[in-house]
């Protein structure tokens, strides 16, 4: 039996690793399935753990108010190393590109423990966009032993970085597994669109690289969309970061067709995505989830490491330019041909069996 330690700290990591953890749990004769969380996103992380009924064996609870990236990174490296010393796993599984990911991978590397990187190979080639994620995932790629790439593009990017072919595996994206698992379960919505709304639009925006003037620009664009189009209703779960809350509250609060809510549980957001006419987001995960649901997505970023959705035609990069956001949104509202093309473009991120593939590969490699 091989000892597997899965380490994560944020809500997106938890969502994408939950299917892997659950799949590992279906093979108790092959794997000792251990989970460690850093608590990088405390409340939002716990909600996902509860939804997927995952109980961590080690909870480091490292996040503190007003904690900087360097401070968290230093604490995470030391704390994860202490867990590794105690557990002595055969492999550490990480996912994506957060500070938890790079520190966990580095701690494992220092102890010569194999690292399995889920969602490997995503690149923008712009070191500051997204920040700090682009450098986090490049460094994790340099440390990883097994690279579980979600798409052929990610495979190609890993090959371009001279990653050995024998260490690269095309698996699909585990976010599709999590989404399909969640859609099969009934959910009572805490917030919903009005029943008579013709164009319900779901918004999520929180990226660090958009803080300041770009974020104000996108908020003004959202206000324009509602004021110019009386059949539009926006629902916007607002991130807890004050750099998001202040401009959103100042610019968008008080409008009868703009609903600002607290951050939603993962299952709530998934079912709202399914009800939306279209989605405006700067979230990486939603760029992957929306195509599965057939929802056109406008990406509020200047670059994306998930260009597969753009190339497939189900997503469109609009950045944070006020006029471009408004114009592109209105085109989707009133041009049925354009909307139909985007909503039927299909998903390039797999069919929901990524976790099973990953666990099968681990079984082969660790045997």
- The answer to whether residue 97 is catalytic is yes
- The answer to whether residue 134 is catalytic is no
Of residues 117, 137, 153, 239, which has the active-site annotation?
239
The predicted structure's pLDDT at residue 44: 83
Of residues 119, 233, 305, 308, which has the active-site annotation?
119
Exposure class string for 227-255: b at 16+ Cβ within 10 A, else e: eebeebbbbbbbbeeeebeebbeebbeee
Q: Do the first three CATH levels of 2-173+351-366 and 199-343 match, i.e. the same topology? A: yes
Domain 199-343 class?
Answer: alpha beta
Give the separation between CA 114 and CA 102, rounded to whole angstroms. Answer: 14
DSSP string, 38-49: --SSHHHHHHHH
For residues 237, 285, 118, 50, the Cα torsion angle rounded to the nearest 10 degrees is 30
Are 279 and 236 spatial neighbours (Cβ–Cβ below 8 Å)? no
Of residues 97, 157, 233, 282, which has the active-site annotation?
97
Of residues 114, 159, 208, 324, which has the active-site annotation?
208
Give the separation between CA 315 and CA 83, rounded to whole angstroms. Answer: 40
The predicted structure's pLDDT at residue 65: 84
Of residues 13, 23, 133, 216, which has the active-site annotation?
133
- The answer to whether residue 208 is catalytic is yes
Enter the tokens of residue 347: 């998903």
Give the separation between CA 106 and CA 85, rounded to whole angstroms. Answer: 14
From first to last of its 367 residues, the chain has per-residue pLDDT tens of: 999 999 999 999 999 999 999 999 999 999 999 999 999 988 789 999 999 999 999 999 998 888 899 999 999 999 999 999 999 999 999 999 999 999 999 999 999 999 999 999 999 999 988 889 999 999 999 999 999 999 999 999 999 999 999 999 999 999 999 999 999 999 999 999 999 999 999 999 998 888 999 999 999 999 999 999 999 999 999 988 899 999 999 999 999 999 999 999 999 999 999 999 999 999 888 999 999 999 999 999 988 888 999 999 999 999 999 999 999 999 999 999 999 999 999 999 999 999 999 999 999 999 8
Phi, psi torsion values for 75, nearest 5 degrees: -65, -40
Whole-angstrom Cα Rg for the chain = 20
Q: Within 10 A of 145 (CB to CB), how many other CB atoms are there?
A: 17
What is residue 1's DSSP assignment? -
Give the separation between CA 15 and CA 236, rounded to whole angstroms. Answer: 20
Residues in contact with 288: Cβ distance below 8 Å, sequence separation at least 6, in sequence order: 150, 173, 175, 176, 306, 309, 347, 349
Are 333 and 243 spatial neighbours (Cβ–Cβ below 8 Å)? no
Of residues 41, 117, 206, 357, which has the active-site annotation?
206
- The answer to whether residue 133 is catalytic is yes
Task: Domain ranges for the chain, please list them.
Answer: 2-173+351-366, 199-343
Q: What are the DSSP E strand ranges found in 17-97? A: 31-37, 58-59, 91-95
HEC readout, 92-135: EEEECCCHHHHHHHHHHHHCCCEEEEECCCCCCCCCCCCCCHHH
**Sign of CA pseudo-dihedral 208, 256, 235, 278:** negative
Query: For residue 62, with 0-12 CB atoms within 10 Å meaning exposed, 13-18 middle and 19 or more buried, which class applies?
Result: buried
Are 181 and 256 spatial neighbours (Cβ–Cβ below 8 Å)? no
To which residue do tokens 């509860």 refer? 50
The predicted structure's pLDDT at residue 17: 98
Is 343 strand, coil or helix? helix
Q: What fold does the segment set 2-173+351-366 form as a domain?
A: Rossmann fold (3.40.50)
> What does pTM read for this prediction?
0.92
Is 172 strand, coil or helix? coil
């Amino acid at each position: 039996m091989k000892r597997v330690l899965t380490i994560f700290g944020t809500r997106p990591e938890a969502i994408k690793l939950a299917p892997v953890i659950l799949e590992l749990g279906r093979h108790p004769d092959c794997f000792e399935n251990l989970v460690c969380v850093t608590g990088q996103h405390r409340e939002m992380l716990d909600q996902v753990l509860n939804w997927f009924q995952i109980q961590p064996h080690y909870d480091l609870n490292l996040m503190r108010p007003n904690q900087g990236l360097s401070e968290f990174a230093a604490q995470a490296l030391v704390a994860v190393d202490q867990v590794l010393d105690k557990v002595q796993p055969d492999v550490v599984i990480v996912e994506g590109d957060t500070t938890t990911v790079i520190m966990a991978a580095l701690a494992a590397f220092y102890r010569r423990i194999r690292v399995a990187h889920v969602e490997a190979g995503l690149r923008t080639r712009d070191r500051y966009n997204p920040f700090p994620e682009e450098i986090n995932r490049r460094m994790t790629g340099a440390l990883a032993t097994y690279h579980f790439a979600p798409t052929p593009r990610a495979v190609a990017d890993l090959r371009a970085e001279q990653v050995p072919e024998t260490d690269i595996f095309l698996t699909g994206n585990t976010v599709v597994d999590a989404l399909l698992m969640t859609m099969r379960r009934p959910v009572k919505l805490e917030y919903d669109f009005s029943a008579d709304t013709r164009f319900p639009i779901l918004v999520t925006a929180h990226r660090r690289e958009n803080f300041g003037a770009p974020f104000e620009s996108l908020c003004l664009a959202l206000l324009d969309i509602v004021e110019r189009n009386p059949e539009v209703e926006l629902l916007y779960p607002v991130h807890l970061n004050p750099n998001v809350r202040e401009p959103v509250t100042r610019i968008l609060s008080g409008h009868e067709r703009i609903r600002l809510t607290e951050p939603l549980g993962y299952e709530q957001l998934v079912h709202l995505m399914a009800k939306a006419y279209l989605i405006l987001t700067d979230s990486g995960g939603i760029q992957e989830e929306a195509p599965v649901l057939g929802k056109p997505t406008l990406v509020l970023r200047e670059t994306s490491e998930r260009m597969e959705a753009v190339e497939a035609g189900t997503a469109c990069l609009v950045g944070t330019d006020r006029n471009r956001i408004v114009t592109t949104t209105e085109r989707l509202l009133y041009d049925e041909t354009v909307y139909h093309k985007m909503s039927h473009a299909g998903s390039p991120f797999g069919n929901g069996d990524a976790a099973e593939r990953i666990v099968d590969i681990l079984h082969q490699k660790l045997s």
